[in-house]
Chains A and B, each alone.
Chain A
Amino acid sequence: MKYTIKILRKEREQTGQYWQSFIYETDNSAATAASALSDLNDREHLSDADGKPARRIEWECSCLQKKCGACAMIIDGIPRLACDAVLADMGKTQITLEPLRKFPVVCDLIADRSILFENLRTMQLWLAENAVITDKMQELAYQSSECLQCGCCLEICPNFYAGGKFFGMAAVPVTTRLMSEMSPAAYRQIARQYAKHVFAGCGKSLACRNICPKKIDTENLLVNTNAKLWKLAVSCKMK
């Protein structure tokens, strides 16, 4: 199969972006956007679709099997992992690749997602006491620990922007895990941060629901954590 891979590129030192297309031929029906990028970069001399010499494409990848989140980008308009985007399943031969838009673009397909990690520090998301994992909470702790911090849920969210007070769905799995393993007295501080940086800003659009590459049940995490927040608020009022 012959594909045209159209990539939105950017030089490190410059601000402007430009499109450049590459021809990619493969007989592998399981080839993904990640395989296309790897194979193009493995060519001794990379040329674009017009035959002009081209700089190697900069992009991030690590596990190549949906377990690390490094290769998140916008593929044909949808934020997803390049290693999960099977070209043959896309039903077309021209495929566009762009860097995530909600984060500063470093170069080509690399976006600086540092804000994800800064936000988790701002929320002081860590255990305040030894974890206690009850049988009932085990599955929830497992599901919430699966989050890749890839940023796809933030890319799709109508309320999130980098540097804003609302930290979006990416902060929820970490919060959920910690709250599922601590006593209400110990997670009070985390709950306060959650109320400020997630609950108050979430417009409940649930755009994040179907976008997670790990298929984490985001709605379940939100419902669970919101319920804990309300229980805590009610018990504080009663006191």
Chain B
Amino acid sequence: MKTVNIIGAGLSGLSAAITLARSGVRCNLISAQPSERSQSVLAEGGINAALDTMGENDTVQEHFNDTMKGGCFLESESAVRNLTDHAPDIVTVLFQLGVPFRSENGRILLRNFGGQKKKRTAFAKSSTGKMIMTALIDEVRKYEAAGLVCRYPHHELADITIAGGRLQQIIVRDTFRNEFLSFTGSTIVCTGGMNGFFEGMTTGTTQNTGNAAALLFHAGVEFANLEFIQYHPTTVGISNKRMLISEAARGEGGRLYIMRNDQKWYFMEEKYPELKNLMPRDVVSREMFFVSRMPECSGEVYLDMTGLSGEVWEHKLSDLRKEIIAYMHTDPAEEPVPVSPGIHFFMGGIRVSDRHETNINGLFAAGECACKYHGANRLGGNSMLGAVYGGKAAAAAAMEQPSECEIRETAFRESISSPRIRSILRETLLGGLGIVRNAEELQTAIDELTGLCSQEISELDRMRINLGLAALQSAYARKESRGSHYRSDYPDKADAFRKLTVVKYENGAIQLRFVAADSEETI
């Protein structure tokens, strides 16, 4: 029976599993943790679709335009067209699967979100990801019982073998038994973003270690746009991570300010009168970076939600309020909350075609680990959409190929990373890949990591450093400012760089080239 392997059981993995199962194709759903523990459950604000239920004459064309503009025209037009065209159907199907989106008489209500002038974001308070995951987990259970989805929970990717440009096998470790299994057959990678390269500094989960990405890169899988890292403007530091304050808080009326000459300065409203606090995330984070360094400004940037109505708190943001009270001991309905930008999303990742094929035959990728829809900056509400649509597209492409899966117990000696090296890698990457970058800092970071590579370190640490170096070299080579990549030494956008930064590890070295965003060259 045709069988496809899926690594990762978050939103894109479940979407792929359901798509395969509905076509009668079996899958092995391999994940380090059950779906309930995946990063997708953290997604808060909502999912975009031009459903036009709010009487604003919204269209999929406008969703397409906003996504292209938000991503600074660095994404493939055809891919974004697919994404935005399918969005209304995707959200409708999720509603039919029982996601309790806020609705009235069966009409899904939509909220404002960043970078979009019209209400286009379907939501369930500020726990939309959790609600969507719960519904999809229940749906996948039906196919588990039918034998079409075979889960391998507590299993993580340990190795991948590629020969002649084709995937040969993957090896996974059963983390409970410390035993290894090899799987042949087509494989969809849904392993999420590279949070583990920035431990403690992201809004994501500890499970997204970045190890899978490092293994794949080392094996010859092409990556793209690694320099594009989204700093979400409104996060707060809690123990060992950044906690997100959903963009929905600003969508519902929250305002950013800083004290300037002892007066509250609502800088986003003054500088960007059209979209105000709802400018795309890269713009807001950068403005926060600059205003907090102005001599006439003092203290932190605050998010003021005290003007939100009781109705909004009760029906749209009650969970966010509870969370802020629990972790910050501040009631946001009563007091403004100090916020600062934190790493939230990786626009770059495994380079895929519109059909989510990688440069390796038999290997596909979807969700945050893949680079496809979000260009230089992802719009809020498009990540879950990209994950669901990407999972569907990858599954559709994977099932077209013959794929017999053989599973065997195997012996394998796994490499582990050291806390010390992980810490140096994190600090070095933060030094080079901050909100504002320049050649000097990037070169310093590149030199540090190159030096680290010459030390006696584990194989896994070496792979992780190589991928980190690839991200730094990508940022160094992109001599312009676009979206989340801002270079103080090249502050303007340059048309010559309307291209993907493609990196590949080949013959022991990182190869870097620029490829037109719409090109399917070598994929």
By a beta-carbon cutoff of 8 Å, the part of chain A in contact with chain B is 12, 28, 30-32, 34-35, 38-39, 41-44, 60-70, 83-84, 106, 110, 112, 114, 117, 120-121, 124-127, 130-133, 135, 138, 141-142, 145-149, 174, 177-178, 181
Query: How near does chain B come to A217, taking the closest CB pair, in angstroms?
Result: 13
Query: How near does chain B come to A89, taking the closest CB pair, in angstroms?
Result: 11
Among listed B31-39, B72-80, B219-227, B468-476, interface-contacting one: B31-39
Also in contact, A61 and B206, with CB within 8 A (given A126-B139, A127-B98, A133-B98): yes
Which secondary structure dominates where chain A touches chain B? loop
B34 and A149 form a contact (CB under 8 A): yes
Using Cβ atoms and an 8 Å threshold, which residues of chain A touch B239? 28, 30-32, 34-35, 64, 83
What are 11 A-B interface contacts by the 8 Å CB criterion?
A: A28-B239, A42-B423, A62-B38, A62-B205, A64-B240, A65-B238, A68-B36, A70-B207, A106-B176, A126-B141, A131-B96
A181's nearest neighbour on chain B, judged by CB, is: B98
A130 and B96 form a contact (CB under 8 A): yes
Using Cβ atoms and an 8 Å threshold, which residues of chain B touch A110? 176
Also in contact, A135 and B105, with CB within 8 A (given A42-B423, A145-B134): yes
B33 and A138 form a contact (CB under 8 A): no
Query: How near does chain A come to B250, taking the closest CB pair, in angstroms?
Result: 20
B102 and A138 form a contact (CB under 8 A): yes
A62 and B153 form a contact (CB under 8 A): no
Which secondary structure dominates where chain B touches chain A? mixed
Using Cβ atoms and an 8 Å threshold, which residues of chain B touch A34? 239-240
Using Cβ atoms and an 8 Å threshold, which residues of chain B touch A39? 240
A68 and B138 form a contact (CB under 8 A): no
Also in contact, A66 and B138, with CB within 8 A (given A138-B102, A177-B98): no
Using Cβ atoms and an 8 Å threshold, which residues of chain A touch B39? 62-63
Assess whether B453 is interfacial by the CB under 8 Å rule: no
Among listed B61-69, B123-131, B384-392, B505-513, interface-contacting one: B123-131
Within 8 A of A (CB), among B198-253: 205-207, 238-241, 243
B138 and A65 form a contact (CB under 8 A): no
Contacts A43-B419, A135-B103 supplied; 15 other A-B pairs, CB < 8 Å:
A30-B238, A30-B239, A38-B206, A39-B240, A61-B206, A63-B205, A64-B240, A65-B323, A68-B36, A69-B37, A127-B142, A130-B97, A131-B135, A133-B95, A177-B98
Within 8 A of A (CB), among B125-183: 125, 127, 130-131, 134-135, 138-139, 141-142, 144-145, 151, 153, 176-178
Also in contact, A145 and B131, with CB within 8 A (given A121-B144, A125-B141): yes
In the assembled complex, the Cα of A170 lies from the Cα of B368 at a distance in Å of: 30
Using Cβ atoms and an 8 Å threshold, which residues of chain A touch B326? 66, 84
Assess whether B413 is interfacial by the CB under 8 Å rule: no
Query: How near does chain A come to B494, taking the closest CB pair, in angstroms?
Result: 39
Using Cβ atoms and an 8 Å threshold, which residues of chain B touch A130? 96-97
A131 and B241 form a contact (CB under 8 A): no
Assess whether B296 is interfacial by the CB under 8 Å rule: no
- Report which of A44, A135, A178 forms a contact with B98, defined as CB distance below 8 A: A178
Closest 6 CB pairs of A and B: A131-B98, A126-B142, A141-B100, A35-B239, A145-B134, A68-B37
A142 and B423 form a contact (CB under 8 A): no
Assess whether B327 is interfacial by the CB under 8 Å rule: yes
Using Cβ atoms and an 8 Å threshold, which residues of chain A touch B135? 131, 145
Query: How near does chain B come to A144, taking the closest CB pair, in angstroms?
Result: 8
Query: How near does chain B come to A181, taking the closest CB pair, in angstroms?
Result: 5
B139 and A133 form a contact (CB under 8 A): no
In the assembled complex, the Cα of A60 lies from the Cα of B225 at a distance in Å of: 32
Using Cβ atoms and an 8 Å threshold, which residues of chain A touch B124? 142, 145
B94's nearest neighbour on chain A, judged by CB, is: A131
A177 and B41 form a contact (CB under 8 A): no
Q: Most chain-A CB neighbours within 10 Å: which of B36, B105, B151, B323? A: B36
A145 and B130 form a contact (CB under 8 A): yes
B142's nearest neighbour on chain A, judged by CB, is: A126
Assess whether B311 is interfacial by the CB under 8 Å rule: no
Using Cβ atoms and an 8 Å threshold, which residues of chain B touch A127? 97-98, 138-139, 142
Assess whether B456 is interfacial by the CB under 8 Å rule: no
In the assembled complex, the Cα of A12 lies from the Cα of B98 at a distance in Å of: 40
Using Cβ atoms and an 8 Å threshold, which residues of chain A touch B241? 64-65
Using Cβ atoms and an 8 Å threshold, which residues of chain B touch A62? 33, 37-39, 205-207
In the assembled complex, the Cα of A112 lies from the Cα of B33 at a distance in Å of: 11
A65 and B36 form a contact (CB under 8 A): no
Q: Most chain-B CB neighbours within 10 Å: which of A32, A112, A117? A: A117
Using Cβ atoms and an 8 Å threshold, which residues of chain A touch B206? 38, 61-62, 64
Within 8 A of A (CB), among B374-427: 418-420, 423
Using Cβ atoms and an 8 Å threshold, which residues of chain B touch A174? 138
- Report which of B42, B141, B207 forms a contact with A121, defined as CB distance below 8 A: B141
Assess whether B104 is interfacial by the CB under 8 Å rule: yes
Using Cβ atoms and an 8 Å threshold, which residues of chain A touch B423? 42
- Report which of A30, A63, A133, A141 forms a contact with B37, defined as CB distance below 8 A: A63
B41 and A126 form a contact (CB under 8 A): no
A61's nearest neighbour on chain B, judged by CB, is: B206
Query: How near does chain B come to A57, taking the closest CB pair, in angstroms?
Result: 13
Using Cβ atoms and an 8 Å threshold, which residues of chain B touch A63? 37, 39, 41-42, 205
In the assembled complex, the Cα of A205 lies from the Cα of B177 at a distance in Å of: 36
B329's nearest neighbour on chain A, judged by CB, is: A30
